[in-house]
Amino acid sequence: MRPHPRQYTDRPRRGYLIAPHPEHVPGSPVVRLVICPPAFYASAMTDPPPESPAMPVQLGVNIDHVATVRQARRTYEPDPVWAAVEAQLGGTDGITVHLREDRRHIQDRDVERLVEAVHIKLNLEMAATDEMVDIACRTGPQLAMLVPESREEITTEGGLDVAGQLARIRDIVARLHEAGLLVSAFINADEKQIDAAADCRFDVCEIHTGPYAHAFHDHGRDARQPAVEHELDLVRRAGRAVLDAGMQFNAGHGLNYHNVSPVAALPGLGELHIGHAIVSRSVFVGLRQAVAEMKHLLTGPAATVVDPHNAPRVTP
């Protein structure tokens, strides 16, 4: 590595230059000069700055299925707000809830209480309907994510068709922006949908990882299988397109402790939203510990794959 040019107060040697320091700020009242060979100075002024270290992937924990257990008995426990606090103590960067039109798990009052109680990012998943837009604008989560929704589905199936309803989605995004919210689209790894999302001025695109998760499960839970690599590459290329369009690249759906590591290693990834796997594991180890273990998979050494069945106890 070439040493930093030394600063001198004596006279330069023959053939050397007195020139502005490469880090001198034009217009600054303090003039920094260096004495160095001409070639050194030219290189110092043209070399690109060192790259900043990559930011760790953030985790958003979906707590819908805590409410699913509560709604099975139509009672008051377990409380999703308590779950959000436990997830935060476990190290999550955000909380996600999906207020469905049929209110099968999260209820309106849950959203209102979470907005007040959560001290980290709250992501409200919602259908692209006037009712849900009104609720989001009134309650004020940090992020509103538009997702497709059907009363017949067990969970979200596929991404939102932004391209097929451009005018309506553009209007909804504008309304949410006017309320001061960041807006995300949950979409398939499809270039047409990414272009449409950019046209609608979404801030974030969350790429649907369900096809990758299904391929991983169906092919021996081996990330090296060609079918799994193919689905992962689709997510990778979609993420690159999202970033090139000036939006944040998030991903989620179907991810668990076994299949998350290859996705977490994708370049430019901002956040992963994971729910069912974490809530399922919390039945056996507690929610705070389950979150801490998932967070460790996202922030630990990229080459390390932790066997969740033999994972060391992680201190939140």
Catalytic residues: 98, 125, 253
In the block, residue with structure tokens 């139509």: 74
* SS3 of 173-213: HHHHHHCCCEEEEEECCCHHHHHHHHHCCCCEEEEECHHHH
In the block, residue with structure tokens 């590459």: 233
Smallest CA-to-CA distance from 274 within 182, 206, 215 is with: 206
In the block, residue with structure tokens 């600063």: 7
| Helix, strand and coil in the chain, % to nearest 5 | 40, 15, 40
Sign, CA torsion 266/99/204/128: positive
**Which tokens is 238 given?**
């979609």
Which positions ≥6 away from 305 have C-beta within 8 Å? 261
Backbone angles phi, psi at 208, to 5 degrees: -70, 115
CB 297 within 8 A of CB 277: no
